[in-house]
Amino acid sequence: MILSLYKGLTRLAGLGAPLLLARRTKAGKEDPKRRHERLGKPTMPRPAGHLIWLHAASIGESVSILPLVERLLAEHRHSHIMVTTGTVSAATIMDDRLPERAFHQYSPLDTPGAVRGFLAHWRPDIALFVEQELWPNLITQTHASAIPMVLVNGRLSEGSARNWVRAPKSFRKATFGAFDHILAQDDLIADRFRSLTDQSVTCAGNLKYAARPLDVNDDDLNALQGAIGDRPVWVAASLHPGEEAHIVAVHKALKLSLSNLLTIIVPRHADKAGLFASACRNDHLVTRLRSQSGLKGLDRADVLIGDTMGEMGLYYRLAPVIFMGGSLIPHGGQNPLEPARLNRAILHGPHIDNFTDPFCQLEQAGGAIQITDGTDLAAKLYALLNDEAVCNHMGDKAAEIAAAQDNSLDHIMDVLSPYVAQSMIAGGAKS
C-alpha cells in the first residue's frame, strides 16, 4: 500500500515537475541547458554496447567513485560508464574529471514518467547505486526492467535502520530486495542491512578510503603560498552552519599570541559562504572570499573563505593543521582521510558518527586529536602551530593510516566483477 501510494503521489507530482525545475533553475539549483534530463529526457545518445550505470547522490559520493570508474573501464575495455548525480556542483566536477568512455547525466526526478523515460533511453546493462540514494521509483522500475543491481559502499545509520524496521516488510522487500548484492562500508552497517533483507550482504570496505590524493592546480597553489608567506595558517574544513561562532572565537583567541594568523574557512556547501563571511565580519575580522578577491588584500586578511568548487586539495595543502568540520555539532563529521593523504595533522570534535572507524584509527596512530569545544580547539591549535616537529609527526602518522585503507577498492571489485561479467553476457544475448 505504501509503495502504491508513493507511486500515485509522485505521478501527480510529475505534472508540476517542469514548474518546479524552472524555479530551481532560477535559484541556480538546476542546469538550464540540461534540466530536461531530470524529466527523463536525455540530451545525448546512448553509446553502443555494454553500459554500466553508477548512481551517486552528490559531490562526496561522486568523487569517491572515480577510482572505481577507472578500475571498471580498465578491466572492461569495451564498456562505457554513465554516472548520474542530482546536483549541479557534482555534475560540474564529473564533467571535468570523468575519463574517456565515461560521461555524466543528471538523475531523473523520482516520478514514474521521468524514471521510465530515463530507463527506456539508456537501457543500462547493470546499475550500481552508491551509499544510500534509495529512491523507490528508481529502484523498483530498474528492478522491474531486469537490470542487475548492486548497492555499493552501502551506508545505513542506526536511526535509518530503526525507521526501516518499522516500515512494512513488503516495502523493505521492494527496496532492499531489488538489489542482487549489497556491499556495506563496515561490519556494523552490514549487520544493519542483514536485519532488513535476506539478500546477499558483504562488508567490502569504504570507497572513500580508497581515493587518490585530491588534485591541485600548481599555479594556484604557488600563488597562494607566495601570498601567505610565513604566516601561521590553519584550515577549518567542511564547516556546517552552527560551527561559525566556534571558529571565529578560536581565531580571536589565537590572534592574541599569533598576531598575523590566517584562518582559512571552507564551508561544506559553497552556498553557505555568505553565512560564514558575515559571522567573521560581524566580529570585525578582515575577511576575503576566494571566488571574489583572489589574492587581493590577502596580506591584510584575518580570514580567507574557500567558497570555490573542486579546490579542497588546494586548501589542504596550504596549512599543516586541518580541523574537520561537522564534528562540533551533531552532524557526524566529514572524511578525515582526504587531509590525511596529504600528511596533515588533524583535529576534530566529538561528533564523528559518519566516519567513526577512520577517526579512531587516526587517533590511535597519533595522526589526529579529538577536541571537546572551541576553547580546547584553540589550545590544541596553538600547541601544534608552535611545534613543527609534532605537527609533521602527526601528518606522517595520518598518511600511514590513509595508505592502509587503499585495499578497499580491491575488495569491492572482487564482489562486483562477476556481476559485471554476467551483465556483459546477458547484454550480448539481448542484442
Residue with cell 554516472: 83
Distance CA 115, CA 108 (A): 6
Residue 302, number of CB atoms within 10 A of its CB:
20
Instruction: Tell me if 153 sits within 8 A of 62, measured CB to CB.
Output: no
Identify whether 61 is a catalytic site residue: yes
What DSSP string runs through 349-388?
-S--GGGHHHHHHHHHHTSEEE--SHHHHHHHHHHHHT-H
Q: Which of 30, 37, 61, 363 is catalytic?
A: 61
User: What DSSP string describes 68-80?
Assistant: HHHHHHHH-TT-E
> DSSP letter string over 151-199?
EEEE---HHHHHHHHHS-HHHHHHHHTT-SEEEESSHHHHHHHHTT-SS
Interacting residues of 119 by C-beta distance below 8 A, sequence separation 6+: 141, 142, 145, 147
Picking from 85, 62, 97, the residue whose alpha carbon sits closest to that of residue 135 is: 85
d(CA 409, CA 369): 27
Phi-psi region of 146 (alpha: psi -120 to 50; beta: other; left: phi over 0): left
CA gyration radius, the chain: 23
Q: How far apart are CA 79 and CA 88, in angstroms?
A: 26
* Beta pairing partners, 304: 264, 288
Q: How many angstroms separate the CA atoms of 54 and 71, rounded?
A: 13
| Number of residues that this document lists for the chain | 431
d(CA 272, CA 39): 28
List, in order, residues 6 or more apart from 234 with CB less than 8 Å away.
261, 263, 264, 319, 320, 321, 322, 323, 381, 385
Task: Kindly state the helix (H) or strand (E) to which residue 320 belongs, with its residue range.
Answer: none
CA 62 to chain centre: 6
Residues with catalytic annotation? Answer: 61
